[in-house]
Amino acid sequence: MKSQMGDRAKFWAGGTDMVLLWQRGEIDLDHCIDLRHLGELDYISVEDDSISIGAMCSLSALERSADEHHLLATLSEITKLMCTPQTRTLATVGGNMCNASPAADLSPAFVAMDAEAIILGDAGERRVSMFEFFEGVNKTALRGNELLKEISIPLPVAGNIAAGYRRIDRTVVDIALVNASSALTVDASGKITKATVALGAVAPVIVRSEVAAVPLVGRSLDALDDAALAASGEAAAGDAKPISDVRASADYRRDMVKVMVRRSLADCIEQLKG
């Protein structure tokens, strides 16, 4: 169907962003393809090596999955920050990703967790890292009639992973003015084998700060002091390219990256130390 309609066609998942676009006259309902009957894409499953979240999984279902895995518990906490309870029942994880808002709460967490998008097309499935999935404001790696099927989060075979998320917001229901997520993987000895720091609302896409990992990787969890976390935050701020808008100034956003990265890392450490 999408291939018949071409570029004008839009997929409609939960529709919470799409209704807003339609009200503003930016999309045409005659060219929307309803995905809500795709019940087979509404799932969350935890395997030994990965967590799979179906694109049609609602935000409220993700919110309720906290007990199934500690990374899902992190995602559940993030979900609670998103829109309102009565919109989370409608909105889907896939829809939220495909809307590709740079301020979306789940996006930096998926990037920090090194998640992949599983994309369904005429030629079958392909995988793209969530970092590469976002190509711009409301722009994704989906081409032609491709469809986002699943977000797949890899789990370390040995050792452990933890993720943290922080954002600056105003009232308890808000869009992030700026946000950051980090994930730390440790081996059995407690040495950090991998660190990923992702930033939102500081560029048209989610920023993955490679330099922010430098003060962290290779060190033992116990050796990570405040200075190391602060160094990571400082480094991350250097990768941020924020703008000033109605919500916050560029300077404030850049400054807050430092604080949020530091705090999200502290959250990871706390989780890993249990």
Residue ranges that bind other proteins, judged by CB under 8 A: 15-16, 19-20, 22-23, 29-30, 32, 34, 36, 60, 83-87, 89-90, 168-175, 177, 246-249, 252, 255-256, 259
CB of 29 to other proteins, least distance (A): 5
Task: Kindly state the helix (H) or strand (E) to which residue 228 belongs, with its residue range.
Answer: helix 226-239
| CB nearer to other proteins: pick between 153 and 237 | 237
Q: Evaluate whether 221 touches 186 at the Cβ level (below 8 Å).
A: yes
Residue among 10 and 161 whose Cβ is closer to other proteins = 10
Q: Is the Cβ–Cβ distance between 102 and 203 less than 8 Å?
A: yes
CB of 267 to other proteins, least distance (A): 14
CB of 27 to other proteins, least distance (A): 11
Q: Least CB distance from residue 157 to other proteins, whole Å?
A: 36
- By C-beta, is 73 or 250 nearer to other proteins? 250
- Nearest to other proteins of 217, 250 (CB atom): 250
Question: Where are the extended beta strands (E) located within the chain?
Answer: 10-12, 32-34, 44-46, 50-54, 116-121, 124-129, 134-136, 139-140, 147-154, 160-168, 178-186, 192-200, 207-208
